Amino acid sequence: MSRAWIVAVALLLSPAAAYAQAVPQAYKANCQMCHQSAAQGVPGVYPRLAGRMDKVAASEDGRRYLIAVLLHGQTGRIMVDGKPLSGAMLPYARLADKDLADILTYISTAGARAKARPFTPAEVAAVRAAPKLPAAKVGEERGRLATAGIVP
């Protein structure tokens, strides 16, 4: 058996492959430029999403937080993979609820070790209907969730 064949089978049987999905057009058009095509980010500049967001999406607080990041943006210092990042995530409230749900489902399955429940447009609409949060408050919520072990 060839080495390439063994590698291909191993990749297909890996947990990440089991939860992989096609990259949604909304991600390609709005997120890929910073977070890259496989959601791997740019170390020290843009945070890696792959292999991390499934844990956040496993809790209701984490799901609301992820939706809030896309709707309202986020500012402040964050830690990703043990390294500090400072910057701003722009809000994408202009996108339709379905597009945001597709993006969130993609990032919560990219490189996932556990299967995250897909996001729905109704979940996004519920957070959109709540009072708007300033980006700095979204950043504070991230800190709270990180302390609670919800955000890796």
Q: Enumerate domains of the chain plus CATH numbers.
A: 3-147 (1.10.760.10)
Confidence of residue 21 (pLDDT cuts 50, 70, 90): low
List the single range of 8-12, 35-39, 137-141 with lowest mean pLDDT. Answer: 8-12
In 3-state terms the chain splits into helix, strand, coil percentages (rounded to 5) of 50, 10, 40
pTM: 0.85
Q: Which of 151, 146, 45, 46 is nearest to 108 (CA)?
A: 151
pLDDT tens digit string along 117-144?
999 999 999 999 999 999 999 999 999 9
Q: Which of 100, 136, 135, 134 is nearest to 119 (CA)?
A: 100
pLDDT tens digit string along 62-110?
999 999 999 999 999 999 999 999 989 999 999 999 999 999 999 999 9
Q: Report how far residue 84's alpha carbon sits from residue 107's, in angstroms, rounded to the nearest whole number.
A: 21
Q: Report how far residue 36's alpha carbon sits from residue 59's, in angstroms, rounded to the nearest whole number.
A: 25
Six token digits for residue 41: 């980010």
> Which CA distances in Å does 144 have to 81, 93, 99?
17, 23, 27
DSSP 119: P
pLDDT of the residue at 14:
40
Q: Which of 107, 105, 118 is nearest to 48 (CA)?
A: 107
